[in-house]
Structure 1
Amino acid sequence: MLQNATDLRVLDLKGNDLSSTSMRSLNFSFSVITLSLKETGLKGKLTDDILCLPNLQYLSLSGNSDLHGQLQDLSCASASLNVLEISSCDLHGPIPDSFSNLTHLALFDLSENSFNGSIPPSLLTLPHLNSLLLYYNLLSGKIPNVFHQSSRIQVLRIRSNNIQGELPLSFSVLPDLIYLDMSYNKLEGPLPNKITGFSNLTEFRLTDNLLNGTIPSWCFSLPSLVSLDLSFNQFTGGIPAISSYSLQALILDGNKLQGNISESVFNPVNIVNLTFLQLARNNFSGSVNFSLFSKFQNLKTLRLSYSSQLSLNFESSVNYSFSRLLELDLSSMGLTEFPKLSRKVPVLEYLILSDNKLNGKVPNWLHEMDSLRYVMLDRNFLTTPVDQFSRNYQLGYLDLSFNLLTGGISSSICNASFLEALDLSNNKLTGTIPQCLGSSQFLSLLSLGRNRLNGTLPITFSKNSLISLQLNDNRFEGPLPESLSNCMQLEVLNLGNNQLEDTFPYWLQTLPHLKVLILRDNKLHGPISKFKTKHGFPSFIIFDISSNNFSGPIPEHFIQSFESMKDVVQDEVVGNPQQYMQFDYGISSITVTTKGTILLFERIPINFVSIDLSGNKFEGQIPKVIGELQALTGLNLSHNRLSGTIPQSMGNLRVLESLDLSSNMLTGSIPTEFLNMNFLEVLNLSYNHLVGEIPMGKQFGSFLNDSYKGNLGLCGDPLSMKCSQKHDEHHPPSQSLWREEKFGFDWKPVAIGYGCGTVFGVGIGSFMCFMRKPKWLVRMFGG
């Protein structure tokens, strides 16, 4: 179609499917002026041909994730080119320094690629450039100090790169700049004390850098400024008086600001339009009347959390009202009593009072505020929960975890018919679970773990929205309800540390998204029989059925079904070293035993992949197919009756960090393939029948005697038994001697050998005790 279109001027194929077409096969007419191939699924390597069309003025190739290669020399591009968009592709390499002929270029968008190197100075001096978008790349170095007053730049977005150094002095002369975002870099030093430009600046964002010093007064007096975000830097000092009438969002979270918050700083006459005020995680001190903030009649968000030295005065005699306030975050401020908010915040939706010193009963006005959607009262000293919910209460999220709540769970909680998340974990609640919770239509998170609840589990789970169900560490008994198979969205099921008695719940394999299954420390028993369907458990990343009475062999077909454990997860997000399972609401903490330690996960890393079958009665050989689970970071088969040799295929577990095969009846030698486990930090092979020489080299040189004790046929470092003195490998110690060493089957905990491993291994300890942040807590202006 294109070959004969010799007079074609405009070609717009945006959103069509060209996935079967490669860049190489395209042959455009030299007459083309406007060309849009945005989001067409183009594949292949970016070629010079399309960039060098002689009459081209507008070119968009954005949104083609399979378009790869480097951006070549642009000296051949048309001098009339004014729009060049190549964002959200798979381009890499440096940005070429060949812009001298692009004198009409107005919009240049290379965002969301993998460009590296520095920003070419010639790019910033183009006479007509007004929008430069380089965010989400791998750019480094400093910002060139080449800006001048004749520049026409209006939009400059270089966020989420690796830009370093101070902001250049010439930066502050830009007269037409409207939108500036250089967040999530490594900028350092103070901001300039004086500026001559920025008179049209409306958005100013430098969040998450290393900037320091005091915040200069000009930041609060720009005549057109709408949003100022300097959060998560290292600014000190106080907040100067604010005189920017246009200011709507002031975001200064996560700095080192100190001093008092006074009325002279926040003059409601000057900042009448203020809508978002976020001052959390600073060092403010002194006392401030809470009513001060009510003078901002347009205020929708107020965050003062993690300011333990700042005292809020909630005088009941003062008449105030937050007529538009939607979100109030006063967590970790040392509050000893509930703020008096009844009838003063008529549209409040989000109330966050976590990690304070609130005690006694949850006030009645809480469930009388029918506007509330999200309430976090966790980590306080509350003793009595809300005992009565009115019908059709609109609450969507209620977190009362880590308190001192006693008594039972009122069935009136089901009157909150739109409830999506309920977290009452880590309290002292007793009694049974209201059956109605199992049939709640909208509930996606139910966490009642670490209480004193008893009875049987609800048997009425219907088709619902449950994603995370945690009933662990209680006193539940009886069978596992097969109605759980109706929860088709379930991703996390934690029923560990109860008294449940049943066989293995093979019917859970119908849940396609189940990632975490924890059934440890119950009274579950019997063999794991062959699946009755072909599904298996393809999404598992954590599987823990330890400390039960399961018996028989570990079935190969069972292990082979763990498809998600076969592929090592690579970090895909630039600048994000660790990714986690994502939920609309946080999940209550999950404990996992690995490396001989019980770890608390507040968020589950997606590359933490673990199997724990320890403390059962499994017998027979370790399945060779376990070597296919190459994403495993933790494997515990200890305290079973496993026999035979250790499969050489386990050497394929190259990212394994913790391996415990202790207290079994394994024979033969330690496979030399174990040397391939470059990340192995913890190894326990104690109390088996292993013989021969311990492999030497790499991380094995750091394991201690405890890793191997109880194997009288082993020799070599670190054992005192040298291989020249060892027993005949064909005549290991007698069975009676081995049982005496191992105390029969009444096994006792043994020390685990710790080694240094490879320093690049995932430090599991660093995952402990993360704050939960639901999606709505993402910074309002962070997009």
Structure 2
Amino acid sequence: MGNLMLLVLRVVVCVHMFTMFHFARLSSHSCHFDESSALLHFKTQFIFNTSFFEYNYDYNYEYDCPQVYSKMSTWENGTDCCSWMGVMCHSVSGHVIGLDLSCSAIVGNINPNNTLFHLTHLQTLNLAFNGFYGSQLPSQFERLVSLRHLNLSGCGFEGDIPSQISHLSKLQSLDLSGNSHLMWKETTWKRMLQNATALREIGLDDTDMSSISITPNPLSNWSFSFSLVTLSLVYTGIRGHLTSHILCLPNLHELNLYGNENIQVHVSKLNCSTSLSFLDLSWCQFSGSKIPASFSNLTHLTSLYLSGNGFNGSIPSLLSKLQYLTHLDLSGNAFPGSFPSFLSNLPHLVYLDLSINKLSGQIPNVFDRLANLQFLRLSYNNFQRKLPSSLFALTQLSSLDCSYNEIEGPLPDKVAFLNLTQLSLQGNLLNGTISEWALSLKSLRYLDLSNNRFRGHISETTSYSLDHLDLCNNELQGNLPESIFHIVNLTYLCLSSDNWSGIVHFPLFSKLQNLEYLFLSGFNSLLLKSETSVNHTFSNLRELQLLSSNITGWLEFSGKFPNLDYLELYNNSLQEKVPKWIHGMDSLRYLNLSHNNFTSMDHFPWYRLEDLDLSFNSMADDISSFFCNATFLSVINLSHNKFRGIFPRCLANSSFLRDLDLQMNKLHGILPDTFQHLNTLNLNGNQFEGLLPKSLSKCSRLVDLNLGNNQFEDTFPNWLQNLSDLEILVLRGNKLYGQIANLKSEKIFPNRGTAEYDISMVATIKRVSLTFTKIPNAFVIIDLSENKFEGEIPDVIGELHRLKSLNLSYNNLIGPIPPSLGNLTNLESLDLSSNMLDGNIPAELTNLNSLEVLNLSNNQLEGSIPQGKQFDTFSNDSYEGNMGLCGFPLSIQCNNVPLQQCPSSEAEDKFEFGWKPVAIGYACGMVLGIGLGYCVFSIGKPQWLVVLFGGKRTKRRSRGNRRRARTTLFQLFLVM
């Protein structure tokens, strides 16, 4: 009887379900006219445009929107709206309850009067990844009172989130991610959390929540709904304290606070049964330097991400208690010690990232217990010795990255990889030949073995799925295998080495029509000219680098590069004029032809060029109007050539120019005074004259200013104090005069980190010119040598604490050496030679522990040389020409000073005597001293002697005058 009743009940239920389904099918074709009209009017307010994806960087649309198409193209008047793509109707009432137009390339504005808000029965609305840029989030969303699911991610909305959104009390999921100009007010946020009590999923990544603070009090107004399952607030700027009351929410499974550096994590205790399975607290601030011990209570975790948190204690073994972990990311910290072998006790681990730490030693052979591992990243550590054999037995591994360690030895002959798609081992000490399996894995798409010590030949490859192949900077030799030209999926290919042999026919690379990046160097013969008359087209090539090769046939080359952005032909001994095929590249943005023997650039059609490097050639063009068609040029390096003419005025007027290097050419004339936005300016070694351009004071980001070895005639440029970013100042070898200004240390040479610039410079240290092809990081220089500066050394120079090199030699400076220079603890080179400095050498200079070069020669210093520390390392020539100095390393003892010898004519040519030392007997011998003293006291201060020996005169005397002075002095001695 019971079975019969159960059978009857089942029949009744089936009949009822069939009736309801049939009724739903009938009613689903009865779209309401007003809703159909509203949708059609909504369609007319927008356009379909896929190009907006190119300009929105908030999201990776290739990942989020693998397919983009216009769903609204199926919307036609007179048809049932319930059959339209993206529209879902209620099965009984026929009302529109769902609208999914995500990834539809819709572009336009959603205005407050938009007919979208007439669809009051909507329960689901998804407009994600469309282009509503400039639109504010309309407050009319409150009219959609039935909404349960709202997704507006990646749409480009701006402004404040309206408070009316808190009226959507039925919301179960809200996703506003990827709207970086969308801002939350704390009152709106609190009101929404209080009203929307059904919220289960919240995604607000990249929105602006900087005005919102998490408080540690679980009973505060900032409290979460107890129904919350997912909370994602990546890069929101939210601040405050994250405590255990949030981690202990009863239904919370996923919490993602990645990139919120103002969040303070305090979870020392977790006295709750938490359901968390996904936790990402990367790039937050933890209260301690170790992973909290309380994390061992998060026993339901499957994914734990703690990168970039500054942890520096050992990786704790408590992680082995999280037996369900599948994903573990501890990258970007400072964990020391060896590889944590206890991680092999996590049998479900598929993703492990320990990169960018301080781990060292040999990687243990424990991967046989991690059979499910698919992703392993150990890069940027200090791992050494060989890779363990069990690592190459992981059949499920798809990505292996052990790059930038100190791993050595050969690769194994065989591996068990079945699904490997990425192998990154660059930047190690690996040697031997490249194993055949590395170039034959069928699934491999990314292979980088660059910057190792692999040698020998490259074997034939059958990994035709490869799209990235980098074998650069090894010790490979021989010929390139023919099979490389059959890897048609390649987009990136780097084969630079030093020992390639044979002839490589460059046109063969045109077979690789997907190739975007090609880097070749070190070939014994690289033939550009085609063997046939066919014009080879490199359709997708964006970057081409051909370095240090014996390039032939380059003048006759006829290839086409319709999309080339970057061309570098560095150090190839190329001669004559730049060929026509380079002139025809309209798409070029970067061109480097440096270190060749080109004699002329001719009339290059600059067009879109932004970065030009022609340095170290033999070009002798007149550049007076060279760049006037170069609208976008930002970086120009023409150094070490024979360019002539005056400074191109159009360059000084350019609003795009940032870095300019014209050093070591034959340019002349007066500089324009219209500079605007320069970061670096190097005119060293030309023939410029006149005043220093004051417009440089407006270049507020100027870092490197080198005007040395010209003929500028001006006073010290006081306007330098406006340049708060200045790090290199070279004015040596000009005709500058007057006193050196009291530089305001709080404005010039600030104490901050710097970048490295691709502009070369010349620094003169102890009369030796050193050329730097790049400006070293934090390298701070002042070089005012070989001018006519006078007066005392400003005491405030001692407050320029970042100085590495100070050169004031060959001027007319007087007075004592300021003791404040002892504060320059970063100083590595100090040259004050060939001036008229007097007094003692300050003992404070012994504080300069970094000092490697010291030159105080040819001054009028006296007294004992300071002893100890770096001063014990300097030789005699650091002090020669100072007749009053004594002590180590000089042979003159301070307690029994012998008569000084006459200075050599060479020493006299390097500096000028004052009349006082001569008058009181510090010159050539006792008799001469007495004779001169008698003259001084008998007839007063003789003007002719002042004229001959300079005294406090500001104008430097020629070598001829100094010789005449010595002759007159000798005649006086004979008379006496």
Under TM normalisation by the shorter chain, which class is it? Answer: 0.7 to 0.9
Once residues 44 and 194 of structure 1 are traced to their aligned partners in structure 2, the CA distance between those partners, rounded to angstroms, is 48
Task: Describe the SS at the equivalent of 1:119.
Answer: coil
1:650 aligns with 2:650: no
Q: CA deviation at 1:227?
A: 0.8
Q: CA deviation at 1:242?
A: 0.8
- Equivalent residues of 2:624, 2:645 under 8 A apart: no
The equivalent of 2:749 in structure 1 is 564
Q: CA deviation at 1:507?
A: 3.9
Q: CA deviation at 1:249?
A: 1.0
Once residues 722 and 24 of structure 1 are traced to their aligned partners in structure 2, the CA distance between those partners, rounded to angstroms, is 71
Letter in structure 2 aligned against 1:118: S
Identify which range, 598-607 or 32-41, moves more after superposition: 32-41
CA change 1:324–1:15 in 2 (3 A) is closer
Deviation digits for residues 261-305 of structure 1, max 9, x if unmatched? Answer: 132x3251xx22122111012421111222322222222222112
CA change 1:747–1:47 in 2 (3 A) is farther
Cα RMSD (Å): 3.1
CA change 1:107–1:430 in 2 (3 A) is same
Deviation digits for residues 177-229 of structure 1, max 9, x if unmatched? Answer: 12211111111001111111x21111111111000001100001112111100
The equivalent of 2:519 in structure 1 is 303
Once residues 53 and 563 of structure 1 are traced to their aligned partners in structure 2, the CA distance between those partners, rounded to angstroms, is 57
The equivalent of 1:368 in structure 2 is 584
The equivalent of 1:175 in structure 2 is 395
The equivalent of 2:15 in structure 1 is none
Deviation digits for residues 113-154 of structure 1, max 9, x if unmatched? Answer: 111111211113411111111221111112121112762222
Once residues 123 and 594 of structure 1 are traced to their aligned partners in structure 2, the CA distance between those partners, rounded to angstroms, is 54
The equivalent of 2:200 in structure 1 is none
The equivalent of 2:281 in structure 1 is 61
Letter in structure 2 aligned against 1:160: Y
With structure 2 as the length reference, what TM-score do the two structures score?
0.66
- Equivalent residues of 1:288, 1:311 under 8 A apart: yes
CA change 1:593–1:458 in 2 (3 A) is same
The equivalent of 1:581 in structure 2 is 755
Give the 5 Å matches for 1:478-493: 478-493=690-705
CA change 1:240–1:318 in 2 (3 A) is farther
CA change 1:25–1:734 in 2 (3 A) is farther
1:189 aligns with 2:409: yes
Give the 5 Å matches for 1:127-166: 127-148=347-368, 151-166=371-386
Once residues 212 and 664 of structure 1 are traced to their aligned partners in structure 2, the CA distance between those partners, rounded to angstroms, is 57
Q: CA deviation at 1:444?
A: 2.6
Letter in structure 2 aligned against 1:57: S
Letter in structure 1 aligned against 2:532: S
- Equivalent residues of 1:67, 1:90 under 8 A apart: no
- Equivalent residues of 1:149, 1:173 under 8 A apart: no
Higher Rg? 2
Letter in structure 2 aligned against 1:476: F
CA change 1:672–1:174 in 2 (3 A) is same
CA change 1:597–1:22 in 2 (3 A) is farther
The equivalent of 2:634 in structure 1 is 420
Once residues 453 and 195 of structure 1 are traced to their aligned partners in structure 2, the CA distance between those partners, rounded to angstroms, is 62
1:314 aligns with 2:529: yes
Letter in structure 1 aligned against 2:478: G
Give the 5 Å matches for 1:99-498: 99-148=319-368, 151-196=371-416, 198-263=417-482, 265-266=483-484, 268=486, 271-305=487-521, 307-312=522-527, 314-319=529-534, 320-338=536-554, 340-389=556-605, 393-409=607-623, 411=625, 413-461=627-675, 463=676, 465-498=677-710
- Equivalent residues of 1:46, 1:69 under 8 A apart: no
The equivalent of 1:78 in structure 2 is 298
Once residues 647 and 519 of structure 1 are traced to their aligned partners in structure 2, the CA distance between those partners, rounded to angstroms, is 21
CA change 1:237–1:737 in 2 (3 A) is farther
Once residues 747 and 93 of structure 1 are traced to their aligned partners in structure 2, the CA distance between those partners, rounded to angstroms, is 67
Question: Which residue of 880, 884, 888 maps to 1:717?
Answer: 888
Letter in structure 1 aligned against 2:642: K
Task: Describe the SS at the equivalent of 1:503.
Answer: coil
Task: Describe the SS at the equivalent of 1:425.
Answer: coil
- Equivalent residues of 2:798, 2:821 under 8 A apart: yes
Q: CA deviation at 1:699?
A: 2.4
- Equivalent residues of 1:389, 1:413 under 8 A apart: no
- Equivalent residues of 1:373, 1:396 under 8 A apart: yes
Once residues 642 and 741 of structure 2 are traced to their aligned partners in structure 1, the CA distance between those partners, rounded to angstroms, is 40
Letter in structure 2 aligned against 1:612: D
CA change 1:67–1:48 in 2 (3 A) is closer
Once residues 49 and 87 of structure 1 are traced to their aligned partners in structure 2, the CA distance between those partners, rounded to angstroms, is 21
Q: CA deviation at 1:308?
A: 4.1
Once residues 295 and 242 of structure 2 are traced to their aligned partners in structure 1, the CA distance between those partners, rounded to angstroms, is 20
Letter in structure 1 aligned against 2:810: H
- Equivalent residues of 2:345, 2:369 under 8 A apart: no
Once residues 151 and 63 of structure 1 are traced to their aligned partners in structure 2, the CA distance between those partners, rounded to angstroms, is 30
Once residues 423 and 15 of structure 1 are traced to their aligned partners in structure 2, the CA distance between those partners, rounded to angstroms, is 39
The equivalent of 1:610 in structure 2 is 781
- Equivalent residues of 2:248, 2:270 under 8 A apart: no
Once residues 733 and 624 of structure 2 are traced to their aligned partners in structure 1, the CA distance between those partners, rounded to angstroms, is 28
Deviation digits for residues 338-387 of structure 1, max 9, x if unmatched? Answer: 26443533322222111112111112332222122222111111112122
Once residues 333 and 295 of structure 2 are traced to their aligned partners in structure 1, the CA distance between those partners, rounded to angstroms, is 21
- Identity fraction in percent: 46
- Equivalent residues of 2:722, 2:747 under 8 A apart: no
Deviation digits for residues 384-425 of structure 1, max 9, x if unmatched? Answer: 2122537xx222333222111123126363223233333222
With structure 1 as the length reference, what TM-score do the two structures score?
0.82
CA change 1:365–1:290 in 2 (3 A) is closer
Identify which range, 601-610 or 137-146, moves more after superposition: 601-610
Structure having greater relative contact order (Cα 8 Å, sep ≥ 6): 1
Letter in structure 1 aligned against 2:351: S
Gaps of 5+ in 1: 524-547, 570-579, 749-783
Identify which range, 281-290 or 645-654, moves more after superposition: 645-654
Once residues 627 and 101 of structure 1 are traced to their aligned partners in structure 2, the CA distance between those partners, rounded to angstroms, is 57
Once residues 150 and 91 of structure 1 are traced to their aligned partners in structure 2, the CA distance between those partners, rounded to angstroms, is 25
Letter in structure 1 aligned against 2:605: F
CA change 1:143–1:605 in 2 (3 A) is same
Letter in structure 2 aligned against 1:193: D
The equivalent of 1:669 in structure 2 is 840
Gaps of 5+ in 2: 1-214, 900-915, 926-947, 951-955, 960-976
Deviation digits for residues 576-606 of structure 1, max 9, x if unmatched? Answer: xxxx6345xx22x210112442111111123
The equivalent of 1:3 in structure 2 is 218
Give the 5 Å matches for 1:84-103: 84-103=304-323
- Equivalent residues of 1:30, 1:53 under 8 A apart: no
- Higher helix proportion: 2
Task: Describe the SS at the equivalent of 2:599.
Answer: strand
Once residues 655 and 73 of structure 1 are traced to their aligned partners in structure 2, the CA distance between those partners, rounded to angstroms, is 42
- Equivalent residues of 1:497, 1:520 under 8 A apart: yes
Once residues 102 and 27 of structure 1 are traced to their aligned partners in structure 2, the CA distance between those partners, rounded to angstroms, is 20
Q: CA deviation at 1:331?
A: 1.7
Once residues 620 and 458 of structure 1 are traced to their aligned partners in structure 2, the CA distance between those partners, rounded to angstroms, is 30
Once residues 354 and 466 of structure 1 are traced to their aligned partners in structure 2, the CA distance between those partners, rounded to angstroms, is 26
Once residues 609 and 591 of structure 2 are traced to their aligned partners in structure 1, the CA distance between those partners, rounded to angstroms, is 8
- Equivalent residues of 1:364, 1:386 under 8 A apart: no
Question: Which residue of 514, 519, 537 maps to 2:731?
Answer: 519
CA change 1:252–1:568 in 2 (3 A) is same
1:627 aligns with 2:814: no
Once residues 949 and 332 of structure 2 are traced to their aligned partners in structure 1, the CA distance between those partners, rounded to angstroms, is 60
- Equivalent residues of 2:529, 2:558 under 8 A apart: no
Once residues 364 and 795 of structure 2 are traced to their aligned partners in structure 1, the CA distance between those partners, rounded to angstroms, is 58
CA change 1:420–1:459 in 2 (3 A) is same
